[in-house]
Amino acid sequence: MKKQVSLVLSSGGARGIAHIGVIEELEKQGFEIKSIAGTSMGALVGGIYAAGGLEVYKEWMCSLDKMDVFNLIDLTLSRNGIVKGDKILREMKKMIPDINIEDLLIPFVAVATDINNDKEVVFSRGSLYDAIRASISIPTVFTPFEKEGAQLVDGGVLNPIPINRVSRFESDILVVVYVNARFPHIRTPIPGDNNHEEKKHSKYINTIINKLNNFIPKDKADKIGYFNLLNKSTSLMLHQISLMTLEKYKPDILINVPRDSFGTYDFYKSKEIIELGRRATIDSINNYGIIKERQ
């Protein structure tokens, strides 16, 4: 009999692509995923998996280079965000049609934040892509998703690791994937890794960020830049919330991916990020096996 898993996938930008490697390795090692809860990129990957489209999505992500990723960004002059996000979802719908969450292969929930009413919103029914769009809406980056008069932003604002939202089953194994872990990433060679391309991409992204910073009043930014300051502050806040969540709802298996392994917007590095997720899963499963043997 397969070991049944209730799976929780955290927010984390491009590092959330590691969730693909986690899911593949769990299945490879005989685990059966029975339910999923996800926030932000965790909601996207988890929802696509529950819809049966993970392999197609993986192939698409791994085919994207840095210019492909940039071309998927539909910039807007809105004060509420610089990216509309519609272009990405349109491309995804061409590969994986929308479906109601209640019709998915397994129980799935996505978490978003109602920014005007200061509350968490849990999607367990209705359009999968509405849930994903709301959950991935990083404040100031993506424009909020409007639904029934509410403005919804990234679920990570209130619940970056939605352990309390996943459906549980008798004798299940609670597996939590946290892709914002605060420990040093020891870089090892990963197939397809290309440091030269990485440097070119980093320079390219930094140029864009510097141009965006020029539009921000000087009194709103310190020397590290407005967007970098916002990113660092948000990351620290989410990490503290995550630590409290992990302390309250202790998982059976915790799979950590270091925050400094890849940048929030390194979506063109999907192959390397997926491989990192796979390796982290192997390590965590091995540790889980050792602990079980000692009990």
Query: What number of CA atoms fall less than 13 Å from residue 260's CA on the CB side?
Result: 6
Pairing of strands 108-114, 31-39: parallel
User: Is 154 a catalytic site residue?
Assistant: yes
Whether 40 is catalytic is yes
Dihedral, 228, 233, 237, 243 alpha carbons, nearest 10: 60
From the candidates 114, 130, 154, 172, which is the catalytic residue?
A: 154
Question: Which is catalytic among the residues 10, 40, 242, 284?
Answer: 40
Q: Where do we find the tokens 């049966």?
A: 52
Catalytic residue numbers, as ranges: 40, 154
